[in-house]
Structure 1
Amino acid sequence: MKLRSASLRWRVTLAFGLLGAVLSGLFAWATTFITEHYENVLVDGMLTGFAEDIDARREGQPGHLLALPQTHTLQGYLRKADGSGSVPEAYLRLPPGFTEIELGDDSDIHLGVFDLGGDRLYLAINEADVEPLETDLERILGAIVLFGTAIAGWLGWLLAGRTIAPVRRLAEAVEALPAHAQETRLARLVAADELGRLAAAIDGYQQRLVETEARERAFFADASHELRTPLSVVCGSTELLLEDGHLTERAQVRLQRLQRGVLNLADLLEVLLGLARGKSGPVERIDTEAWLTEVLAELRRDNEISVDVAADASHISVRPREAGLVLRSIVRRLGRSEPSVRIRLRVSAGSLSLDASPADSAAADPIEHSGSGDRRLGATLAGRLATQMGWAIDDSRLNQGRIAIAMSDPPA
């Protein structure tokens, strides 16, 4: 696991563990150093005392009667100035002072060499009895290093958890924010420290987004209202002209096309106004057949679009006005593909599906959209309104004239 990919808590734990290992190691080294130094000072003092005692006894009695220690732990050797006296060969060339001699059986000899008025005294202490204690000390210090590292890491894990908990709460609160702008009070979740400053900055940013969105909605609402008046005039004038019985057939066709465009523009303005409001109407449980008849009435008068409806659910829960605007926009979108289009609309509980094919095709082959200039439905006004209602539009097969809509159960 790379250090960068590890969580902050794990990195803090690792840092505490390394710190514990370093401190425990320093403690073990200091303890070993002091113990060995104390041992050397103690043994040197003992050997010096033995040498002074032997020197004092040597002056009061003949040399051949002088008794030197010869035990398992302490051995003494005296070499006269004339070269007499039995001394191990390994000791003869050593100068006066203290020397540590390592033996092959994991034991040491601490040797002291003393000058006694021309004679030389050798005192050796066998430290074999001390070696088990040193081994036990090494094991204890090793355990201290391991436990010290583990305890430091555990404390680091606990402290990091308590320290990072506010950061985690703040991150979860930010992740839970909706896609649209919304006022937040994240600064209340954390203390008034650097993290609180970050939370306050997020709150301020969200507040600016809310104000910007409010200005945009006000602009769209004003623009929609301003465009409604001239659009109503054009729509009314078109209806009056269509009622004129003296129009030629060619003029009627052109006026009908103009009327369809005006009605489409009116629906788009309604969609824009709904997006500007930012809120959808209430959810109602409606009769499917009656609602579709009303929504598709104007489109069915269009000779270029034929809509066949198959309702698997007799009643559905939708927002009638917004759902009707979205459905008409999608049907018009599919109807732009061919001069004459047949659209099969299937409604079931929680889903809508539309399948467009040429009206004069006996095999009812799906329409192949060229895709030039087309965008995904999610980027259109109707797509944004559908998202606002909680609908999910699957337009991945739009080039084949097929669209699927998942109608989630929206809150009332």
Structure 2
Amino acid sequence: MRSRRKLRFRLIVTFTLFGFGLSALFAFAALNIRTRVEEQLINAALQDEVDSLNQKVRENPNEPPAIEIVKGRTFSDRTIYKAPLAWQNLDTGVHDIFEDDKDGKRHHYKVAVRRDGGIINFIQFDVSRDELGKRQLLTSVIAAVFLFGLLSLVLGVWLSSRVLRPVTDLARRLRDFRRVGKAEMLAPHFADDEVGELAVALDEYATRLTAVVERDREFNSDVSHELRTPLAVIASTTELLQGSPDLTDKLRERLKRIERASRQATELIEALLLLSRAERRGPTRGEVTDVAKVASDVIESQRPQMGGKPIEIDLISDGSVTVNAPASVLSVALTNLIGNAIKYTMEGQVTVRVLDGRIEVIDTGPGIKPEDAEKLFQRGIRGESATGGGAGLGLAIVRRLCELYGWDVSLRPRPEMAGAISTIDFR
């Protein structure tokens, strides 16, 4: 996962790196220029001086030459042995010699040599002091780099605090809105700049969002009233008709189907309204539901879907399993899973197993492909063997309900034979 850093941190790092980089570049350029210029000046001066000395000796061999550099020595091919050992084999040019003085202190010399006409001239120049100055310059430049870097860091912290203060204030006000649950206009609190423009855009978005939420709340309230009322009428009328003594068995069975369908519709509406409210405010807790009992009721309500198919429906419970959720939520989820198992199983068996912390629905239908298992929980996606009507929303609703209450719903093919296994894990 890619790391995210605050804008203020990025500004501070940018100013600091810029300061260090600029200072380091300046220091490198200063040292490099100084070294090059110094090298050229010393070499040119020594070479000119040794050439002048050689010319003077040749013109007036009996007069001692005037030496303007600190040390100068002249030898011939016959007296070269009297020269310092380190000088005797030096060719014409400028050379670097390192020697220790009487006190054991190491010195660095530049020695210019001219061999011409049997005359050998040496000019020695001590550059130790110059190297000391170079080290002092290096120390000063390094100190300047760190000083400029520290100043850049302080400047970055100060500027980032000044620049990002409106953004921080905007974020704080947005967090306050979330905490108190009430939004107010942001634009009046900010200047007419980029942050103010962002505040205006957020105000416009909040206005539109508030209108959408209000319409959604009104719609949910209308749906709750307009749908529950006719369903209650259907349920009460069906109950009264079932009490009639002159009903035939066929009519009584049809009335039971109407009653079951009415109850399922009521549970579905309650679950969807609960889902709509809970996604804004959080899930409803406090109601303990027996999973095995709800599964038994759902199985009985789904038996008419068998339509004469040779299917056996079994409920196996290994113990008492309860969940902290409304029964209508669990009923809607199990109705979709068990209903799909019955729908796609032409013959065989549908087994509902209530285990420790989970419930499984196992069928002997055509099964599913492993790569299609997760896709079936998306809106509008139906299985390859799906027939008849349907918009492919059942499993999508089940996924939303399970995510709301922290359950894990999954679908996988049976490993040993044709069929599918759907599971809701409550842990």
TM superposition score normalised by structure 1:
0.56
Aligned 1:354-365 pairs, distance under 5 A: 354-357=361-364
Asked if structure 1 preserves the Cα contact closer than 8 Å seen for 2:20 and 2:149, the reply is yes
Aligned 1:192-231 pairs, distance under 5 A: 205=205, 208-209=208-209, 211-231=211-231
> CA distance change for structure 1 residues 407 and 376 in 2, over 3 Å: closer, same or farther?
farther
Asked if structure 2 preserves the Cα contact closer than 8 Å seen for 1:300 and 1:306, the reply is no
Cα separation, 2, equivalents of 1:367 and 1:225 = 40
Give the deviation of 1:74 after TM superposition.
4.6
Give 1:120's aligned residue: none
Aligned partner letter, 1:407: F
Confirm or deny that 1:384 pairs with 2:386: no
Give the deviation of 1:15 after TM superposition.
6.6
> CA distance change for structure 1 residues 204 and 73 in 2, over 3 Å: closer, same or farther?
same
Confirm or deny that 1:375 pairs with 2:387: no
Asked if structure 2 preserves the Cα contact closer than 8 Å seen for 1:17 and 1:152, the reply is no
Identity of aligned residues (%): 22
Give the deviation of 1:197 after TM superposition.
7.2
Give 1:346's aligned residue: 353
- Gapped runs of 5+ residues in structure 1? 48-62, 78-100, 111-123, 359-364
> CA distance change for structure 1 residues 378 and 28 in 2, over 3 Å: closer, same or farther?
same
Give 2:70's aligned residue: 73
Give 1:103's aligned residue: 94
Give the deviation of 1:153 after TM superposition.
6.4
Aligned 1:226-241 pairs, distance under 5 A: 226-241=226-241
Aligned partner letter, 2:125: A
What secondary structure, in the 3-state scheme, does the structure 1 residue paired with 2:95 have? Answer: coil
Asked if structure 1 preserves the Cα contact closer than 8 Å seen for 2:411 and 2:420, the reply is no
> CA distance change for structure 1 residues 218 and 350 in 2, over 3 Å: closer, same or farther?
farther
Confirm or deny that 1:393 pairs with 2:409: yes
What secondary structure, in the 3-state scheme, does the structure 1 residue paired with 2:126 have? Answer: coil
Aligned 1:129-140 pairs, distance under 5 A: 129-130=126-127, 132-138=128-134
Aligned 1:316-355 pairs, distance under 5 A: 316-338=323-345, 342-355=349-362
- Paired residues in the alignment total 337
Give deviations 1:220-271, integer Å, cap 9, x for gaps. Answer: 2212310222233334444455555656666555555444433332222112
> CA distance change for structure 1 residues 290 and 403 in 2, over 3 Å: closer, same or farther?
closer
Measured on the aligned residues, the alpha-carbon RMSD in Å equals 5.8
Aligned 1:8-407 pairs, distance under 5 A: 13=13, 16-17=16-17, 19-27=19-27, 29-30=29-30, 69-70=66-67, 73-75=70-72, 103-105=94-96, 126=123, 128-130=125-127, 132-138=128-134, 163=160, 205=205, 208-209=208-209, 211-241=211-241, 255-278=255-278, 280-285=283-288, 289=292, 292=295, 295-296=297-298, 299=301, 302=304, 304=306, 306-338=313-345, 342-357=349-364, 370-371=385-386, 375=392, 379-380=396-397, 382-397=398-413, 400-407=419-426
TM superposition score normalised by structure 2:
0.54
Asked if structure 2 preserves the Cα contact closer than 8 Å seen for 1:345 and 1:352, the reply is yes
What secondary structure, in the 3-state scheme, does the structure 1 residue paired with 2:354 have? Answer: strand
Aligned partner letter, 2:277: R
